[in-house]
Amino acid sequence: MSTPTTTDAEALIENLDRKGPMHHFHHALHKYPWISPGLVLLVAVIIFGLINHRFWAISNLSLITQQVSIVGAIAVAQTLVILTAGIDLSVGAVAVLASMVMAKTAAEQGVPGPLALLLGFAVGAAAGALNGFLITRLKLPPFIVTLGTLSIFMALTLIYATGRTINSDKMGDAAGILLWLGHPIQVGGFKITYGVVAMILLYVLFSWVLKNTAWGKHVYAVGDDPAAASLAGIRVNRVLFSVYLVGGIVLAIAGWIAIGRVGSASPTILPDANLESITAVVIGGTSLFGGRGTMFGTLIGAILVGVVSNGLVLAGLDQAYKVLAIGILVIVSVALDQWIRKVRS
């Protein structure tokens, strides 16, 4: 079967591949999928600054980090889910529900701050566990489950909050801890909040966990090929459930960041958080088909979305252009991902 001609042809093709700079670029992208959004981010920062110098002002850059902090934190949970080849449409709703529980138990039941916070985390974990249970036990597709729980959690939040916003002055003694992540710190001329630090710590933590723990490897393996993972002795359902559970807790932290950033808890904040988090993950080079991607990429993706929204406003363009730009970025990112996946040695 292996006649000399095929071997020659193979060698020829291999040589072609090896010599081209395109080949090296392809491989580099394959190994570090955050390179392309990183380049786009760099170009965007330069261009927006050239259009309007105020973009480069330290106060503006500080503002961007704060604008990114909530969706950035939500995107951590979304990355975990998408790495398992799932999707979570309920992320925003879970974060808002958790923040509402934190604020309302403190404001109306007089629950002490730390306990109110824990209650919020518990609600986030329970919401994640419900998603995980429906996906692993009832074997429903993540898209359908979270589409359903999106409505359920949104409705629960509205019913629980009776449609009202809880302002910081009503939170009593608990306001200190609930609003703590909104406190600014000065680093040079740069003004960031504890919320931004919290978001970055989430990225550092989960980046480390994904790279350095068996659980991290299993998350990738399950997203890559669940059948192969199962043959290798990984309990696929357990890993999936844990991802949604851990994601729920991360979302509660995002809800906490949101209280600090907005200064109140409202059932109607974060209307675009679901799609924006998916956008950040996809732009960051994580594959919607699971098994590949990095936390660092998502962070770049989230910042890129923040930079584009802020930059286009400063450039004097209508909000619609932001939506347009992000739509294009998403499609280009997914197309790029398809190409990257074709890599061969």
Site pattern 279..318 for other proteins (x: CB under 8 A): ------------xx--------------------------
List 34, 153, 203, 220, residue binding other proteins (CB under 8 A): 220
Is 261 a binding residue for other proteins by CB under 8 A? The answer is no
List 212, 268, 319, 338, residue binding other proteins (CB under 8 A): 212
Is 151 a binding residue for other proteins by CB under 8 A? The answer is no
CA–CA gap between residue 37 and residue 33 (Å, rounded): 8
The neighbour count for residue 139, using CB atoms within 10 Å, is 9
Is there a contact between 116 and 181 (Cβ–Cβ < 8 Å)?
no
Based on CB atoms, which residue is closest to other proteins, 48 or 206? Answer: 206
Based on CB atoms, which residue is closest to other proteins, 33 or 311? Answer: 33
Between the alpha carbon of residue 263 and those of residues 98, 171, 177, 337, the distances in Å are 15, 11, 12, 38
Instruction: Provide the token pair at 327.
Output: 């739509």
* Nearest residue to 260 (alpha-carbon basis) of 192, 182, 196, 198: 182
What are the residues whose beta carbons fall under 8 Å from the beta carbon of 90, sequence distance 6 or more? 127, 131, 146, 147, 149, 150, 153, 274
Name the minimum Å distance from CB 218 to other proteins: 8
* Nearest residue to 104 (alpha-carbon basis) of 96, 183, 249: 96
Q: Inter-axis angle of helices 236-262 and 113-136, to 10 degrees?
A: 140
Name the minimum Å distance from CB 232 to other proteins: 4
Site pattern 1..40 for other proteins (x: CB under 8 A): xx------------------------x--xx---------
* Nearest residue to 131 (alpha-carbon basis) of 113, 117, 150: 150
Quick one: which segment of 96-104, 160-168, 221-229, 244-252 binds other proteins (CB under 8 A)? 221-229
Bridge partners, 185 (sequence order): 192
Name the minimum Å distance from CB 229 to other proteins: 6
Bridge partners, 186 (sequence order): 191
Based on CB atoms, which residue is closest to other proteins, 104 or 292? Answer: 292
Is 227 a binding residue for other proteins by CB under 8 A? The answer is yes
CA–CA gap between residue 291 and residue 85 (Å, rounded): 7
Between the alpha carbon of residue 17 and those of residues 21, 24, 251, the distances in Å are 9, 9, 44
Based on CB atoms, which residue is closest to other proteins, 229 or 278? Answer: 229
List 156, 193, 218, 279, residue binding other proteins (CB under 8 A): 218
Is 215 a binding residue for other proteins by CB under 8 A? The answer is yes
CA–CA gap between residue 251 and residue 225 (Å, rounded): 26
Name the minimum Å distance from CB 173 to other proteins: 35
- Number of residues binding to other proteins, judged by CB under 8 A: 28
Name the minimum Å distance from CB 240 to other proteins: 15
Name the minimum Å distance from CB 282 to other proteins: 16
Q: Which residues of this protein are in contact with other proteins, per CB under 8 A? A: 1-2, 27, 30-31, 212-215, 217-218, 220-221, 224-225, 227-229, 231-234, 291-292, 341, 343-345
